[in-house]
Amino acid sequence: MSDQNPYDAATAAAERLAELTGVERHDIALVLGSGWLPAVDALGEATAEIDTTDLPGFSAAAVAGHSGKIRSIKQGDRNLLVFLSRTHFYEGKGVAAVVHPIRTAAAAGCSAIVLTNGCGGLKQGWQPGQPVLISDHINLTGTSPIVGANFVDLTDLYSPRLRAMCREIDPSLDEGVYVQFPGPHYETPAEVRMAGVLGGQLVGMSTTLEAIAAREAGMEILGISLVTNLAAGLSGEPLNHEEVLEAGKAAASRMGGLLSQVVSKI
C-alpha cells in the first residue's frame, strides 16, 4: 500500500472497479476464504470478472485455493461484489492491505458484507465440511486496522439479524466464537486448548481485522466459517492444506445454497 490515506486509496479502487466492471454501484460484498471457491457459482452468472491487481492498492493472491479475482454478479436488482481471495495478515503486507478490499467494498456502495473462511473446529461433534456461523471473535493478532483515537464499538459485530436469517434457512447451523491467530503456522495442540479456555470454538488466520474495518465503515456483517479440519491435536492426525480444499469441494453445494439464499434476503 502506498502512503496515501487508506480511505482515499479505497475510493480510488472503487472508482476503477466501477470503470472496469461497468457496474456503477455494488450492494453486498462477499469475501471467500479457503474452501469456499467451489460455492461461488451458485451465486449466479458473472457480470464481470477482473484481477485484483487491476485495482490500485491490491497485490497478488498468495495461497493455493485462493484466486486473485473479483467477480461482479447481478442477483435480482442487486449487485454482488465477490472477492475470490483475500490478503492475509501473515503475508506481512500490513494491516491496511488486509482490509483494503473491505474499504473498497464500502466505497463501492456495499452496506453489508459476508466474510467467509476455512478454519479449525474445536467443538465436539463438529465435522470437516460443516459451516458454522461466527457469533463473536477474539483477535489475537495484537493489532487493529483502525489508526488513531477512533474507539469503534464491537458489540454485536456479527449481525444477530443476519445470523437469525441463516438459521431460518438452515436450522441445523451452529454458532461459535472465532479466534484469529497470526499464522501462517497452525496452532500447537496447547494453543488450541488455550483458545478453548478463552472461549473460542473456531481457530483461523483471517476475518477479525476485516470485520473490524467493516464495522468502522458501517457495514452489516455476516461471518461464516467452514470447519475444514479438527483443530490441531483433536484428530490425532497432522494438519494439511489439501484437506482444507477437499472439505470445500465436498461442501460446495451446501455452502453455495446457503450463501445465495442469505444474500437474496439481506
Residue whose CB is less far from ligand 8IG, 245 or 259: 245
Site for ligand 8IG, residues 169 to 188, rule: CB under 6 A: 181, 183, 186-187
Tell me, yes or no, if 49 is annotated catalytic.
no
Interface with ligand 8IG, residue 31, by CB under 6 A: no
Burial zone of 197 (CB within 10 Å; 0-12 exposed, 13-18 middle, 19+ buried): exposed
Size of the site for ligand 8IG (CB under 6 A): 16
Task: Determine the interface stretch with ligand 8IG among 47-55, 81-89, 133-141, 200-208 (rule: CB under 6 A).
Answer: 200-208
CA–CA separation, 173 vs 157, rounded Å?
19
For the bound state, the minimum distance from the C-beta of residue 187 to ligand 8IG, rounded and expressed in Å, comes to 6
Interface with ligand 8IG, residue 204, by CB under 6 A: yes
For the bound state, the minimum distance from the C-beta of residue 205 to ligand 8IG, rounded and expressed in Å, comes to 5
Residue whose CB is less far from ligand 8IG, 34 or 104: 34
Site for ligand 8IG, residues 115 to 134, rule: CB under 6 A: 118-120
Residue located via cell numbers 459451516: 131
Residue whose CB is less far from ligand 8IG, 11 or 229: 229
When binding is defined by CB under 6 A, the residue of 13, 113, 244, 255 that contacts ligand 8IG is: 244
Residue in 24, 49, 91, 187 annotated catalytic: 187
Interface with ligand 8IG, residue 252, by CB under 6 A: no
Q: SS3 string of the chain?
A: CCCCCHHHHHHHHHHHHHHHHCCCCCCEEEECCCCCHHHHHHHCCEEEEEEHHHCCCCCCCCCCCCCCEEEEEEECCEEEEEECCCCCHHHCCCHHHHHHHHHHHHHCCCCEEEEEEEEEECCCCCCCCEEEEEEEEEECCCCCCCCCCCCCCCCCCCCHHHHHHHHHHCCCCEEEEEEECCCCCCCCHHHHHHHHHCCCCEEECCCHHHHHHHHHCCCEEEEEEEEEEECCCCCCCCCCHHHHHHHHHHHHHHHHHHHHHHHHHC
Interface with ligand 8IG, residue 239, by CB under 6 A: yes
Site for ligand 8IG, residues 212 to 231, rule: CB under 6 A: 228-229, 231
Interface with ligand 8IG, residue 139, by CB under 6 A: no
CA–CA separation, 135 vs 160, rounded Å?
8
Interface with ligand 8IG, residue 205, by CB under 6 A: yes
Interface with ligand 8IG, residue 84, by CB under 6 A: no
Contact positions vs ligand 8IG (CB under 6 A): 34, 118-120, 181, 183, 186-187, 203-205, 228-229, 231, 239, 244
Catalytic residues: 187
